[in-house]
Structure formats: C-alpha cells, structure tokens
Structure 1
Amino acid sequence: MGMSAEDEHTVNPKDEEWPEAEKAEKLARGAALKWASGVFYRPEKLEALGQYRSRETQRNSSIQSRLKSTVQSYLEGVSAGLEQLRSAAEEVQNVCQDLGAARWALLDSADHFQVLQQMRALMAEHVQLASVVKVLPQLFSVHEVFSHTLQLLHEQHLLEAHAELMMLEHLRDDILFQLHLRGLSSAQATVLSYFSGLQELNESLAKQLWGIVGRSLQLVQEDPVLFVSAVRIIEREEKIDDALLLDATFLPPGRPKGWRQKFYHILQETITGSHFHTACTDTTGPGLSRHLAALQRDVVAELHVVKDLMVQCVPAHYNILSICTAMYHQALTSHLQDILQEDLDKQALFLLLEWVLHVYHSPEMMSHPGLLPEVDVSALGPLISPDLVDHTERKYVVKVKASVLEWMQRTLEVEFKEWFREEEPETDYQGFFQSALPVIVMQMLNENIRVASLITGSLQQKVYSMAMEELEAFLGRLREALVQCGKEHQKDRTIPKYYVPYLLAVLNNNLALSSSVPSLHPDTAHSEVPVSLRAALDRMQRKACQLLLEELLLDLQPLCMQLPSRKWLSGSQLVSSMCEVIDKYAKDFSRVRKPIFMLLLMESERLVTSQYLRALMQKKMVCKSEEERSQLCDRLLQDATQLRELFCGLGLDRSQQSLEAVFALRELICLKDPALLSLEVLGFITKYPDVSDEHVSTLLDLRGDVSKEVRHMVLEMMAQHPQALPESYQPIFSMILVPAPELPLCLRKGKCA
C-alpha cells in the first residue's frame, strides 16, 4: 500500500511539472472513497456492487471518449495557428526588404527634392501675386468707394450705402485673413491704415441708424420705409456677426458690432428720455396729477403705435411689443421710485398710490381694449414693490395725520372761544345742547378713512388706526381746555356766562362722538371702540360731570353750612332752599340726553346725601335733652323725605338713591335706650360697611346721652365685626372726613410733663 519517497519520485516524475494534476487526482480519489463508503456501509448493499461497477465503467468510457475528442480538436487548432504564424513571418520579411529598397531610392532622390522646394516657394509667391493682381482694381477704387458711400449716406440711401460698406469690409477682412494665415501680422497695420475710412463710414451709418431708431415711433407712422431699411441693415450685421463668431478662427477689427442689442438700447433710451425726467416733474398735487395723466395718455398711444405699426416693420423674433411693454414698465418703475424720493404732499402721495394700484392696470391704461390681449403686464411684476407701497402708505398716513392734527387744533380753538360767548349753545331738534364739534371731527375723520379705502384696505386700516389715536389725543386736549375753562370760572363765576349749558353741550358732544366712532371702522359689522379711546371718552365725561357737580356743590355749600343748628331744628326752610337749587340744576340737566341725565341725577343725589351727612358730623351741635333728640329725629325724617320725593319726582327710583343712609342714621339718633346701641350700630355698619369708628363716635356725640361705657362697648363691638366692602357697593361715608378731636389743653400749649 505504502510507497517510499524515492519510488514516488521515480514513478511520477511528471508531478513536478503538473502539480495540479496530482491535486485533482487526490481530490477525485477522496470523493470516490467518500461516495463508496456512503453507498456500501451496509452488507446488503454489496449485492449491487456488480451493477455499480458496470455503470461506472460505462461512464469512464464515455468521459475518456469526450476527452480524446476535445484534445484532438485543440491539436488541430494549434496546427492551423502555427501555419498562419509562419505565413505572416514570411510576409513581414518581404515588407522589410521592400522598405529597404524604397529608403535607398529616396536617398538617391534627395537632391531633386531641394529643387522642388524652391519651385513650391516660387509657386506660393506666384499665387499671392495673382491674388493681389486680382484685387488691385478693387484696392485702387477703395477711396472712391469711400466717397461714394458717404454720399449715399448723406442722401439717406442706407441700403445701397450699407451694401458698399459690406463690400469694403469684406475686402479688408479677406486681406487681413490671408495675412493672418501666413503669419504676416506686421503687414496688418498697413492694411488697417489703408482702410481707415471704414471707421468713419461705420460711425456715420451708425449715427443715422440710431437717429432713425430714436424716431422710430414717429417714423413708423410717417415714413416706415426708412425704419424698415434701418432694421434690415441691423439684421445684415447680425448675420455677419453670427457667422464670424461661429467660425472663431479669425475675428476682424470692430466685430462683433452687436447692433441688434444697440437697437434695443437706443429704443430703451428713447422711451425713458421722452417722458420720464424727474427733475422736470412738478411733484405738487395738481402738477403731479397733470404729469400722471400725460403719462397715461402717451404710454397708451405709443403702445398702440407699436402694436399696430411697428410690429409689422420688424422681424417676428424681435418680439417688439412685449419688449416695448417691458421697457415702459421698467421706465415707469424707475420714474415713480425717483418721484417717491421727493418730499411729496398728501395729495401727491394719494395720486401716486391710486395711479400705481388702480389706474395703471385699468381699461384706461394697460388693460385698454385696444391693447388686449397682446399687451400683458401681469407677468412683469408690480409697478412698485409691496414694501415700497407700504412705505408710501405710511408716508401718506403721516401727512394725513399732520392735516388732521391741524384741523382738530383749529376746531378746538373755535370750540374754546364758543364757551365764552354771551349766548347759550345751540340746540338740536329735541332741545339738547350741542355744538358743531362732533360733526366737524367725525366728518373729517370719516372722509379721510373713506378716501383711503379707495386705494387699499391696508391703507384704510392705517388711516383708521391713526384716526383713533388722533381722536384720543384730541379728547385729551379737549379735557385740558375744559379744565382751563373751569379754572377761569373758579376765579369769576360770571365767566363764562353760560358755563353750565356749555358743560352740558360738552357731555352731549362726548356722547355723540362715542356713538359715532363705531361707524368709522372699516368693518362696520364687527366694529367696536378701541379700549384706550373708550377710556378717553370716559375721562372726558367724568371731568365734565365733575365740573357740573362742583358747580352744584358751590351753590349747596352755603345752605349746608347752616346745619345742624337750633334754627334748623325749629323748622327753617333750609332743605326747601336746597331743593330749589337741586331742581334748578335738574332742569339744566334735562338738556342732556337721558343716559347722561340719569348719571348726573344719581351723582347729584349722592352729592346731596354726602353733604348732608358731612354737615351732621361736623360736631356743631349736641342734643342737650331728649326733647332735642326728638326734634332732631323729626327734622331728619322731614328733610330726608322731602329730598327723596324731590329725586323721585325727577325720575330717580328709590332703589337708586343713597338717602336711605339718612333714614338709617336717624334710627341711631331716635333709639331711646342707649344700651341697645351696640345692636343698632351692628345693623348700621352691616348695611354701610364703609362707616368708620370716627363716624359712629361722632354720631354718638350728636345724641348727647351716650356714656363712656356704652361708647366703649359699641366701639369694641365694631372692632369684633370688621366689614368688607362688596364689589357693587357705592361708598358713602368713606368720602366724609370727620374732624379730628381737639387735643388736651396741655398738649396744645406744650406744657405737659
């Protein structure tokens, strides 16, 4: 089974040459053993050994046959390849022999080639001289053609002149190109000098062309042939430019001319220069209105000319109508921006906004039926940017604000003077005092807001916000003027003569303003008075009411000074006199509209009540006997009843009156047993929680029969039952200051130890 290394080396010398074959054989043997061990691992399988041997023998025979066939095919291919290589080697050898023979033949002919080189140079020179001789007649006639071309230009025979110009340029450029090919750059300067007249011809032609283009809108109506000739020349030059740029091997001097682009540039300058000179524009309201109207008229007319006539005179690819529309649009944009740099008045700003946002796109201008649908500025963007529109609107609002402020100041000055007139204020059809102030102010604000709405909703909102701010400031100044008027009246109550009626007129005016403000809102369906303005209106109303009540107080105070007193107890007409004063003022108050009238009535009743209670608490009188207390109770009942009936008769319901405090206070005075005062006072402070210890102590003093023990008990009870003020409670006693008790004599003299 085993085999020594020497035997292996002896038997298998080819393994060193083909190690892959040895490896393949080993792998095959291993695979065969693995297969056999898997098939014959059980004894009964050995019965089929003969079948397996026969099948494998047939398979090996088939494989060997295929291998022999493959090797035979391979050997035949190798044989054919070797034969082809042999033939190729013979052909290469033959070629090498032929090349050697040709090389020797060329070496023998070298001298003859030198003679041919001289002939080639002579031939090239001959060709050049022939070319020069051919163009000599043209070269000799160049200056004559220059003169003739200039003459044609002067006579405006543009197409003929341009044809000769093209011929001259072609001649010059051909010569320059030949020099360029032969590297004779030094000779180019001589050629350019000889053709220097071409520069003058080009300039002269260009000057005429741009003059024609500059008058194109006029020429297409009067002499379209001249304009068409200019366009044809421009197109010829464009074709020459395109051809030279496409070749790009040689570019003659002055090329590309770019005359089509120059055509558009001149057209742009013509459009811009004809109407859009800001320095010459009158920027005041009337002057700007005339200028904008002229722009509207001229732009529409000129676009009609372009659409109806110029379009027919230029190639379709010029897209002349769209380009002119864009030129006018851009020129207008720049022009309007320049105008907006000026310090414009209110009217000018309004006109500009209206023109930009409404007139420009209207059927009277860019949406003119004669221009649609070919003219379309919608794709060109806004005439001025939204930011600039917003900035202009703000400038307009500033101007309007200054105008409103000036107007309101004059209105206030007139109103202030009217307060000092020697006649009552005017009345409306219902007899209520009023002045023209609300109508003047509201008409002015409403007109400005309405005018702003003609521009944009945003401008209307800006003007509305400004109007609310200015109205609020105006109410502040009006209130200050009212205070000044009140000060003048305090110095001399005869000035103004009709002080109260004018205060009532101010209240009616304030109410009229308050009811009219919502109508100013751009959205009347959801309008409401701004909070700060509502506060200003309320402050104005409170100040006018305060001045009226101060006037009433001045007339009541002399009467209130007389109570309490013994004369008052005995049955004077003091309260009757107070009622007369109140009734007189109530008649004046009836000249204001009902909401304010009821407010004044309620405030007057509270004023009367507080003054009556304040008079009682001045410690002017102390009841000396039970009889006096009885008289005091009767007097309090009569006075309070009389006053209550008065206010009820004036329209103030008992539930709205504060005089009930006098009736409650009377109960404290009328109580016969001082020991029950604690209970009575508890009920009193529960009903009137703003009553202080000083108030109760003063009332106890008024009775004149309260001992120190009872007073201490009452005050102790109050300390144990502190009262909180309900939100809806109207203070009465907190507005009444009780005089401080006198200090002991020794303290007043400063001698106490």
Structure 2
Amino acid sequence: MSAEDDILTRQAGEMWPEFEKAENLARGAALKWASGIFYHPDQLERLGQYRKRETQRTSSVQSRLKSAVQSYLEGVATGLGQLKASLDDVRAVRRTLVDVCEDWQKKVNGFEGLGHLRSLVSDHVQLATAVHNLQHVFSVPEVVRETRQLIEERRLLDAHAKLMEMEGWRDNILQQLHRAGRQDTEGERIVLSYFAVVGQLNEELIKELWDVVGSGLALVKQDPSLFVSAIRIIEREEEMDRAAADSQSQHAFLPPGRPKNLRQTFFKVIEQSTRAQFRARQTDTKGPGLASHLAALHNNILSDLKVVKHLMVQCCPPHYNILQTYVMLHHSCLSGHLQDIISWDLEKSEIYTVLNWIRHIYHSRPKILAHPDLSPDVDIVSPGPLISQDALEQLQNKYVGAVRVAVSDWMQKALEAEVNDWYREEEPESDHEGYYHSSLPVIVTQMLEENVQVAMVISDSLRDQMVTMALQELESFLCRFREAVISYGKERQKPSQPKYYLLYLLAVVNNCIAIRRCIQWLQQQGNQGSHGDGCNKLPQPIDTALDRAMKKGCRLLIDEMLSELQPHFLQLWSTSWFCGSDIIDSICTVMETHCGHFGHIREPIFQFMLSEGLRLVIIDYVRTLVLRKIVCKNPTERERLSDRMARDAEKLHKLFCNLGLEEPDHLTSVITSVSELVKLKDTSLLSLEVSCLVANYPDISDEHVSALLDIRGDVSKDVRGTVLEMLEQSSQPAPEDYQPIFSEILVPTPVLPFCLPAVKCG
C-alpha cells in the first residue's frame, strides 16, 4: 500500500470509525488466510498464481464499487434538479395568489349589493308559496269545523282524513319555506300560528282515540268498528312517522309534532285501563270477602282474556300480539295486587285462600291461563310466577305460624278437657275389644292430619313445613301431657283420690299408643319429601317425649301394684314363709288382679307392662332377701332356703306364662340362679357359679355377691377373696337391650365396729 493510500485510509478512519474497524478486520482475515495457505514451503511455488488471482478479484471489486458510486451520484443530481423545479413552481403559485387577493379586494364592494337581492328573492319565494297554497289557506276554517263535528260524532276515520289533509297543507308550506332557507323566520311563525288550530284538533282526536282504546274490551263486544277505526288511525300515523323520518334524513326537515308514536302510547293506554279495572274491583277484599274477591278476579280475568282472543285479536294486526300483551298486563296487575294483599294482617284461612289461588287457580288447567278456551295461544311460561319465591316462602311461613298458634291453643284446650275427665265419677270409654281410651288422640290426630293434608294440596314444601310444625307442637304437647300425668299420680296419695284412678291411667297409656301411630304417619309424610327410608324411626326428641309420657303412666300403674304387694314382701323370709306359708300365692293373686287390668292396654305395651311388672317384683324379692341378712347355719337350712326360692320362681313363671308374657324365663331365672348359688355344696365351685351369674346378669356387683355369700354362712375369707377377684376379672359391659336387675338393688354398707379408748374422767 502506498503512502497516499495510507493517508486516505487515515482520513477515512477519522471521518468514519466503522471504516477503520472494517479495514482492520479485512487485514486480519487476509493474514489468517495467507498463513494458512503458505504454511508449507512447497506451496510457495504457487505464489504467482495466488497473486494474479487476487489482483483480478481486487480489480473486479473496484470496478463494481466505482459503478455503484457513479449510479448514486447520478441519482443525487436528478433529485436536486427536481427540487429546483418544485421551488420554481411554488414561487409561481405564490405570485398568482397574491394577484388573486389583490383582485378580490378590489371587487368586495360590488358584492354588497347582492344582500338586497337575496332579500327580494326570499320574499318572492314566500309570496309565491302563499299564492300557490292560497286556496288551501282559505279553506282551513271550514275544514276545521267539519273535522270537529266529525270528532264529536265519533267518525274518527273521516276526522283523521281531514286532519291529515290540513297537516299536509301546513307541512308543505313549511317545507317550501325550509327549502328557500326561510326556517326560523317570521313567515314560519305566521304559518304555525295560523295552523295552531290543527294541533288542537289533533289533541281532541287523540283524546277521543284513547277513550276508544281504553274501553276496547267493551267496544269489541258491542261495536268493534269504532275500535278498528282507532287501530287504523294508529297504523296510518305510524306510517306517516316513518315517512317523516325518511324526509328528515334526506332534506333535514321534520314536520312539527312528529313522531307521534301512537302505537307505543296505545299499549300504555291499555295498560292504564287494565290497572284502572283492577283498582275498581278492589272492594270487599279484606276479611270474609277475600275468597269472593279472588273468585271474582278469576271470572273477570278469564272473561277479559276470552274477549281478547275471540274478538279483539281480529281487530288488531298480528304484530300487536294483543292476546299475549293482555296476558302480561293482567299478570303484572294481579301480581301487584297480590303483593298488597299478602302485606295485610291475614288470618289463617285467608292465607290459605291466597296460597291455593296462586298455586292451583291461576296457572292450572282448566282455571285461567291454561283454560281450554285460551290454550294453546297463551304462553303460560313467559309471565313467570305471580309472586317471587321469597315472598311465597314468607307467606307459607306466615301460614304455618298461624296454624301453629291455632294448633297449640287447640291442643291445650283438649288437654285441659282430658284432665278434667280423669276426675269424673264415670269410667273411661272403651272400644269393642275392651281397651280403655278417650277422645284426646282422635282430636289431636284429626287436627294435625287435617292440617297436613290441607298443606299437601298447596305444595310439597308446605307439607314438609307443616309436618315439622306438627311434630314440634306434638312434642311440646307430650311434655305437658306427662306433667299432667305426674300431677294426676300425686292425687293417689290424697284421701279423696279419683274414683277410677287405675282405669284412666290405662286410658292414658292407650292414648299414647294411638298418638304414636299419628307420629309415625306424620314422619312418613315428611319422608316423602326427603326420600328417606326411616319412616318407621321416630325423631329422637319426640320419640323421647312420647316414651317418657307413656312410661310415666305405666310406672304409675306398676307402682299401684307394688304398693299393694309391699305388705306381702315384708312377710318373705319369715318363719311362716319357711314353714310353707302361702305368701307367694297372695303375691301372685295381687299380681294377677293388676295384670288383669293391664289386659286393657294394647300391644306391645301390654307385654312391656307384664315384663316390667315381673322385673320389679323380682327386684323387690331379691332386695328383701339381701336386706333381711339371713345367714344359714348348716347345709340343711341352705337347701330349705334354696328349694323354697325355686318353688317361688316356678309359681311366678307359671303365673306370667298364663298371663301371656313371652319368655318370662330370663326374669324368673334370677331367683333360680340365686337359689342355686345358696344350695351349692362344694364351695370350691362358687367361682364357677358366680361367673355364670355374672354372664347372665352383668350389672351384679361385688357387694351383691358378698351379700349372697353371706347368706350361705360357710364361705371362708380365702374363698370369698377368690370369688371377688374372679368377679372383677370377668366383669363386662351390659348389652343395650339388657333389663337391669341388680343395679336397682342397693346393698347397705356394713357397719364397722368403732371403739373409743378408755380414759379417766377429769
């Protein structure tokens, strides 16, 4: 590279730093290429070829570069020439504009005279318009008189034709003035003032038109032609409204009073007339007149809709959908009216009347909307419910609350009457099977079942609410009933006890059995709504209340038997008893007498009474044995005691088998097991005997076993300890259906000897 090239390269590098960077990259690439080519000495022979090839390549690149630069310079020259030509054109336009401005300034004064000419032209147009419409203008008063007379005669179509003619004259004049640019001028105000009577006639005609539409239901039955004329006028005006809108879009001119929108007003008028009819019918709606009022609404609505379908539909265009429109209007008015009704302080019967009307009169077939004369033209779905779901639920809750108050009051009065009957000097009623009862279950059952059945007519949800309310009130009633039975039981302790005390207690138990059937029926009705499978299983609260009331009556009957047996129990384990006295026979006689009374109780409570009576007798029998603290002195006494107890158990077993008790063995076997424990000769087998006793009677305790071992009189301390230790190890929880025996027998705590130390008195 020559010195000149180096200078050019440095200058270019100073002007364009990228050029210097590219130069360095090119040099580096060339050195890398040369070092790779001439790495081996034998490649130096081809140096001339490489030099020649690179020289040719450099020449080619330089020629292409020169060609590109030359083309670029030619384009720049062409652009500069075009810019110069554009500058000359702009200067020429500027000079021309200056000349135009000077000419316009010289001729401004000449245009001022055209304003007067414009005024003359406008006046000419106004006068020409007046002359052209002069005949129409002069005939306006006469047409006004004719139109007013036609309106008074209710010849609405003819009156509307005259009115349209005058409106056409007015609009034609105003449109000509508008085209001449004379809008909002004195001429337009004169025209509007002159034709002001047309607006008055229009108002009179519209008023008459709406009177016809408002009484449309009556007119279509008497003279439908007048109603048809009103519909035709409305459709004419709608067509003129559309034409006026098109004219406004084309000529920017809208006649005064347009659009009239008579069709939209038509629907508002029939809505107002429908609401006015509903207001006029709202008489005697409170109190006893509510049912009659709803029945009248039923008849009036159905009659109106029949008139609309069979007569008015033929008078209106199809796109009016007049039948469905009237359905929606009646539905809306009726919904508001019912909202007002349910906001009142309604009684129970009135609430039921409203609920039944909403659920089963309005939407049902063949009552109103689904009436054969209306379907299938009426869409009964689109109107929706008469009242909202929340309002309906509130109304149902209000009805259930009113029924609850009535049921509670009725039950309380029935209970008071029942309690008064318990003190009568007459026996309670009995059925053909000899079971004592009273009218209380019938009253309660009939009252609750009737209310539930009435609620079922309305809806399943109301039925479920009524069932829940009935169960709750019945539970409260049973609690009060039990308290009354407890108070009645206290009368037994007074000298002046009721004459038929036992018989009325039998009736109380039978009444509870009858009430249980009512509860089961109510629960079954409730399970129909919840699709449950537990219709035979009572809810826990009411089940407990019923069982407590019934068991209280049963216990009072058994207590009466036990009180009579008490003197006989005191003679047990006495010398006379050991000598073969008929004490157990006396006990059986008393029990047989009372169990004969129990026979007037229905199953399954009769079985419960026999089982419970026998259980309590067995408990008193064993309790007396434990409290007597009998101690046998020898095997002979133990055998005598055991044999006598076995005979007593056999007599009790035979008695209750004859009375009809199913499986009395599990109770009488208590006495037999105790007798076997006393009779056992080998004391080493006591542990085995006690283990059998514990297996059959898991509620037996070590105190009971110790007391029974004391009766034997031959149990050593070691054997006793072994038996009690075995008892502790073999104790187990009692089954759920186990009837307790020993847990109701309290063993007295043995009195330990207590000695004071001897001291000298001071």
TM superposition score category, shorter chain reference:
0.7 to 0.9
CA contact (8 A) 2:122 2:182 kept: no
State the Cα distance separating 1:649 from its structure 2 match.
3.4
| The 10-residue stretch of structure 1 (459-468 or 587-596) with the greater mean CA deviation from structure 2 | 587-596
Aligned to 2:231: 231
Are 2:461 and 1:458 equivalent residues in the alignment? yes
Alignment of 1:450-489 (within 5 A): 450-489=453-492
State the Cα distance separating 1:354 from its structure 2 match.
3.2
Aligned to 1:389: 392
Aligned to 1:513: 515
Are 2:133 and 1:124 equivalent residues in the alignment? no
SS in 2 for 1:380: coil
| Residues 1:52 and 1:380: Cα distance change in structure 2 (over 3 Å) | farther
| The 10-residue stretch of structure 1 (621-630 or 342-351) with the greater mean CA deviation from structure 2 | 621-630
Q: Equivalent of 2:154, from 140, 156, 160?
A: 156
Q: Equivalent of 1:556, from 565, 568, 577?
A: 565
**Matched residues in 2 for 1:671 and 1:103: separation?**
152
One-letter amino acid of the counterpart of residue 452, structure 2: I
| The 10-residue stretch of structure 1 (385-394 or 249-258) with the greater mean CA deviation from structure 2 | 249-258
CA contact (8 A) 1:559 1:578 kept: yes
CA contact (8 A) 1:304 1:370 kept: yes
Aligned to 1:262: 265
State the Cα distance separating 1:543 from its structure 2 match.
0.8
SS in 2 for 1:280: coil
Are 2:377 and 1:379 equivalent residues in the alignment? no
| The 10-residue stretch of structure 1 (262-271 or 236-245) with the greater mean CA deviation from structure 2 | 236-245
% identity of equivalent residues: 40
Q: Equivalent of 2:734, from 724, 727, 739?
A: 727
Are 2:646 and 1:605 equivalent residues in the alignment? no
One-letter amino acid of the counterpart of residue 350, structure 1: Y
Question: TM-score by structure 1 length?
Answer: 0.79
What CA RMSD, in Å, does the superposition of the two structures yield over aligned residues? Answer: 5.1
Aligned to 1:321: 323
State the Cα distance separating 1:296 from its structure 2 match.
3.1
**Matched residues in 1 for 2:12 and 2:698: separation?**
130
Q: Equivalent of 2:339, from 313, 321, 337?
A: 337
One-letter amino acid of the counterpart of residue 587, structure 1: G
State the Cα distance separating 1:335 from its structure 2 match.
1.8
Aligned to 2:207: 207
CA contact (8 A) 1:678 1:717 kept: no
Extract unaligned runs of 5+ from structure 2.
none
**Matched residues in 1 for 2:606 and 2:11: separation?**
138
CA contact (8 A) 1:213 1:263 kept: yes
Alignment of 1:177-216 (within 5 A): 197-198=197-198, 200-216=200-216
State the Cα distance separating 1:212 from its structure 2 match.
0.6
Aligned to 1:545: 554
| Residues 1:186 and 1:620: Cα distance change in structure 2 (over 3 Å) | farther
Aligned to 1:643: 652
SS in 2 for 1:357: helix
CA contact (8 A) 1:435 1:509 kept: yes
**Matched residues in 1 for 2:563 and 2:61: separation?**
146
Once the two structures are superposed, what CA deviation does each residue of 1:93-118 show, in whole Å capped at 9, x if it has no partner?
5x888877777766665555444443
Once the two structures are superposed, what CA deviation does each residue of 1:370-426 show, in whole Å capped at 9, x if it has no partner?
433332131332222222222222222223333433443444344434444555444
CA contact (8 A) 2:611 2:664 kept: no
Q: Equivalent of 1:400, from 392, 397, 403?
A: 403
Question: TM-score by structure 2 length?
Answer: 0.78
State the Cα distance separating 1:445 from its structure 2 match.
2.9
**Matched residues in 2 for 1:614 and 1:304: separation?**
88
CA contact (8 A) 2:436 2:506 kept: yes
Extract unaligned runs of 5+ from structure 1.
none
Q: Equivalent of 2:583, from 574, 586, 592?
A: 574
CA contact (8 A) 2:656 2:664 kept: no
CA contact (8 A) 1:449 1:460 kept: yes
What is the number of equivalent residue pairs in this alignment?
736
State the Cα distance separating 1:151 from its structure 2 match.
2.2
Aligned to 2:295: 293
Q: Equivalent of 2:544, from 515, 535, 539?
A: 535
| The 10-residue stretch of structure 1 (302-311 or 142-151) with the greater mean CA deviation from structure 2 | 142-151
**Matched residues in 1 for 2:447 and 2:200: separation?**
69
State the Cα distance separating 1:147 from its structure 2 match.
3.8
| Residues 1:433 and 1:24: Cα distance change in structure 2 (over 3 Å) | closer
| Residues 1:92 and 1:163: Cα distance change in structure 2 (over 3 Å) | farther
SS in 2 for 1:379: coil
| Residues 1:408 and 1:55: Cα distance change in structure 2 (over 3 Å) | same
**Matched residues in 2 for 1:108 and 1:621: separation?**
158
Aligned to 1:361: 363
**Matched residues in 2 for 1:120 and 1:61: separation?**
79
State the Cα distance separating 1:679 from its structure 2 match.
7.2
**Matched residues in 1 for 2:64 and 2:688: separation?**
139
**Matched residues in 1 for 2:13 and 2:636: separation?**
160
CA contact (8 A) 1:697 1:711 kept: no
| Residues 1:604 and 1:64: Cα distance change in structure 2 (over 3 Å) | closer
State the Cα distance separating 1:63 from its structure 2 match.
5.0
CA contact (8 A) 1:419 1:496 kept: no
**Matched residues in 1 for 2:612 and 2:87: separation?**
136
